[in-house]
Amino acid sequence: MNISKIDLNLLVYLDTLLRECNVTRAANRLSITQPAMSNGLKRLRNLFNDPILVRTSDGMVPTERALELQPVIRGILMTLEETLAPNREFEASQSKRVFRIMASDYAASTLAPKLLSKLHAEAPDTTLDILTPSDVTFHDVENGKVDMAINRFENLPQSFHHKRIWKDSFCCLVKSDNPIIDNFSLESYLKARHIWVSKTGFGVGVGMDPKDVQKLGWVDEALAHFGKHRNIATFTRNYHVAVHLAKVQNLIATLPSKAANIYIDDPSLKILEPPFPIPPFELDMIWSPLLHRDASHIWLRQKVAEVAEELK
């Protein structure tokens, strides 16, 4: 194969076709006509001597050869886009840019207020758009549709850049007149009723099963090491909802310390140390290689890092 005779647009077509697995959607995404995309698929089939996409009862499905090519082509295109992107200086005070950040409820609650203050002070005409994990996929971050994602991640695609924001511990939040305060032990903790709160990763959430310890997360896994489990009365994905429920009922909300400390001055609430060890967790910021050298993005990452350092 003579690489000098290859139309590089075909690599863009291939990348988009394998993402969409649909000729019409791929054409729309690249703002070309459907016949032009069909012709591109025909040329790709000739170039690689492979069908690339095969029609099945479930729609168009990539061939094994196409699946082998996909990460290679994506890597080539990302390197090209990163290399060719203009490297202009970012004038924060003059910018009208919209920064889009996917942040878990925990990350948004702890970081967003100070970050917004910093943005308004240094870049008053910029806009901050905070999305939830259910709004975003890894592909959105990889494609640069979202500036960054701030969350707790266990497995990340190797292509992403990332930075550790902080480590956080856990504490328990209860009503200030909850009788458990007078005798807060592992035994009383296990006898009490609890609020479960968490939402990490990407994608739409699903219903929780109190018996599925592995999916319940850090607190319940820590208890499982002692052969114990807590009585979960309510599941929520929102930390503020968990706090409100703890304020109106004798329920315990076991939360990351930085989220609980937002309410440290609330006289109706009491913050307690957990009566058993819970390993700390890490909060990370991730972003696409496509944005790594973008001046406005470098500035944004710096602001997030400054806020994180202040909150440590």
- Predicted confidence at residue 248, as pLDDT, reads 85
The number of folded domains in the chain is 3
Q: What is the mean pLDDT of residues 134-156?
A: 84
Q: What's the rounded mean pLDDT across residues 225-237?
A: 90
- Mean pLDDT, the chain, whole residue set: 87
Query: Which of 239, 279, 253, 242 shows the shortest CA–CA distance to 108?
Result: 239
Kindly state the tokens that stand for 58. Answer: 């479930």
Confidence of residue 230 (pLDDT cuts 50, 70, 90): very high
161 & 302 share domain:
yes
Asked whether residue 203 falls in the same domain as residue 253, the answer is yes
Residue 150 pLDDT: 94
**Per-residue confidence (pLDDT) for residue 199, from 0 to 100:** 55
Task: With a cut of 50, say whether residue 204 has pLDDT above it.
Answer: no
Compute the average pLDDT of residues 49-72.
Answer: 90
What the block records as the tokens of 95 is 């910018």
Q: At 210, is the pLDDT very low, low, confident or very high (cuts 50, 70, 90)?
A: low
C-alpha dist (Å) from residue 266 to 109, 169, 188, 270 = 16, 20, 24, 8
The CATH number of whichever domain residue 79 belongs to comes to 1.10.10.10
Edge-to-edge, what's the strand order for the sheet holding 98-103? Answer: 127-131, 98-103, 148-151, 281-287, 161-168
More confident residue, 305 or 8: 305
Assess whether 16 and 54 both reside in one domain: yes
Amino acid at 234: T
Q: Are residues 242 and 177 in the same domain?
A: yes
Query: Is residue 90, in this structure, part of any structural domain at all?
Result: no
- In the 8-state DSSP scheme, what is residue 156? -
SS3 (DSSP) at 54: strand
Check residue 23 and give its pLDDT. 92
Q: What CA–CA distance (Å, rounded) separates 174 from 272?
A: 8
Domain that holds residue 145: 95-167+282-311
Residue with the larger pLDDT of the pair 294 and 110: 110
At 293, give phi and psi (nearest 5°).
-105, 5
pLDDT surpasses 70 at 205: no
Distance between CA atoms of 305 and 312, rounded to whole angstroms? 11
Q: How far apart are CA 178 and CA 163, in angstroms?
A: 39
Q: Are 174 and 269 in contact (CB under 8 A)?
A: yes
CATH code of the domain containing 135? 3.40.190.10
Is residue 265 domain-shared with residue 180, that is, in the same domain? yes
pLDDT at 140 over 90: no
Model pLDDT, residue 278: 94
269 and 186, same structural domain? yes
Identify whether 139 is part of a domain: yes
Tens-place pLDDT, residues 255-278: 999 999 999 999 999 999 999 999
- Give the torsion sign (CA, 286, 292, 298, 300): negative
Q: Which of 126-135, 174-183, 191-200, 245-254 has the lowest mean pLDDT?
A: 191-200
Higher pLDDT, 171 or 1: 171
88 band by pLDDT with thresholds 50, 70 and 90: low
Q: Which whole number is the average pLDDT over 206-218?
A: 58
> Which element (helix H / strand E) includes 42?
helix 34-48
Kindly report, residue by residue over 162-190, the tens digit of the pLDDT: 899 999 999 999 999 999 999 999 999 99
Closest alpha carbon to 26 in 51, 53, 8, 5 = 53
Lowest mean pLDDT among 30-34, 166-170, 301-305: 30-34
265 and 176 in a common domain: yes
Per-residue confidence (pLDDT) for residue 159, from 0 to 100: 75
The larger pLDDT score, comparing residue 173 to residue 29, is at 173
Same domain, 24 and 73: yes
Query: Can you read off the two tokens belonging to residue 247?
Result: 């304020």
Closest to 213 (Cα-Cα) out of 224, 197, 200, 204: 224
Predicted confidence band at 122 (pLDDT cuts at 50, 70, 90)? very high
Q: What is the pLDDT of residue 100?
A: 95
pLDDT of 95 strictly over 90: yes
